[in-house]
Amino acid sequence: MTDGFGLGNLPYGVFSIAGDAPRVGVRFGDEVLDLAATLGDPIFATPSLNPFMAQGRARWTEVRERITDILGNGHQATLHPLGAVRLHMPFEVADYVDFYASEEHATNLGRMFRPDSAPLLPNWKHLPVGYHGRSGTVVPSGTGIVRPTGQRKPPDQETPGFGPSRRLDVEVEVGFVVGAPSPLGEPVPTSAFADHVFGVCLVNDWSARDIQAWEYVPLGPFLGKSFATSISPWIVPLDALAGARVPTPAQDPQPLPYLREEEPWGLDLSLALRLNGHTVSRPPYAAMYWSPAQMLAHMTANGASLRTGDLYASGTVSGPSPDQRGSFIELAWGGQDPLKLPDGSTRTFLEDGDEVTISGSWGDVSLGEVTGRVLPPRR
């Protein structure tokens, strides 16, 4: 049984066994292939995917073909039971950028925050809106998330106060990991997406909505976002998702030339959000308005360079129906419609002790899971 981690997937991660140094591996079913031991290549004996990712697409293809041959034809390989290894951060994050690419999510928040205006701001359908996040607080799945503290100003108070966030939220997202860098001053076109992006992971961009609401005007997200972003331990290569490619929804008005795609890079991924083991939402990634190739082109349109280990994420994935919303601010509609759980409890936002898990797949290719538990604030 490969359970989403068969020969068609072969995602990369970093693992260790008790007493040994972390190194690069590939998940195959419920085992981890030790690449350094199997291929005899010291680049995989390092505690990060970055050196391998920096080698570029031709090398990525070559290694994937060798791994497929070894595992598919029963050649000698060093495999470890998944339960016997410890998983680590799979790569060193260089820069982190988060987009806002779901029309449904942006529309929902616009309706909540600007009920008397158009839900989408004028620029939204002309460019992929995003913000530059904090790479140092990107953490691996399983890391506890300490409830952040900051300034908050509820509508019924004249002045702000300072304390733990009362509106802690999650965002179901898909992340894209850059392998091959680009020179400063040279934009990356949509057609070069697959030459630079190594693979895909799951992302939970934790959000303190009350801190964010007070600080984000006029410059945008800052402390309400920068305290933690969780990623899944396995990076699924783009080649494993070739069959998942679909066109984005119709884009009207037509994007400017630098954002147009000759071939579509929408992805038909199925996502799920669980709270304390109960599935509360199933957001469809195929509904995302902007594709990852368009996000990459916009991110570099001003000449900004790419570095190996850059991570950019899609922003919250939400679909058209209430059970497809990828954040609690949408699921509970800003706190006005509490979410009812099977045990009889309700949630508007996260409570201490809550555990959130995001999972994803395309067909029989699994993206794995990213999990985090909310810890009390540190006083």
Catalytically annotated residues: 105
b/e per residue, 91-120, with b = 16+ CB within 10 A? bbbebbbbbbbbbbbbbbbbbeeeeeeebb
CA-based torsion, 204, 209, 214, 218: positive or negative? positive
- Other Cβ atoms closer than 10 A to 69: 11
Residue among 56, 80, 76 nearest 67 (CA): 76
Cis peptide before 122 (omega within 30 of 0): no
Q: Which two tokens stand for residue 107?
A: 């529309």
- Give the integer Cα–Cα distance in Å for 48 and 44: 8
The answer to whether the CB of 103 falls within 8 A of the CB of 248 is: no
Dist CA 70 CA 73 (whole Å) = 6
Question: What is the Cα gyration radius of the chain?
Answer: 21
How far separated are the first and last CA of the chain, in Å rounded? 47
- Note whether 236 and 224 are within 8 A (CB): no
Residue 74's SS3 state is coil
Q: Hunting for tokens 């600007």 — which residue is that?
A: 114
Decide the pairing of beta strands 138-140 and 229-231. parallel
Phi, psi for 194 (deg, rounded to 5): -70, -15
What is the C-alpha to C-alpha distance for residues 356 and 45, in angstroms, rounded to an integer? Answer: 32
Q: Measuring CA to CA, which residue among 289, 285, 284, 286 is closest to residue 255?
A: 289
Q: Which two tokens stand for residue 102?
A: 């779901």
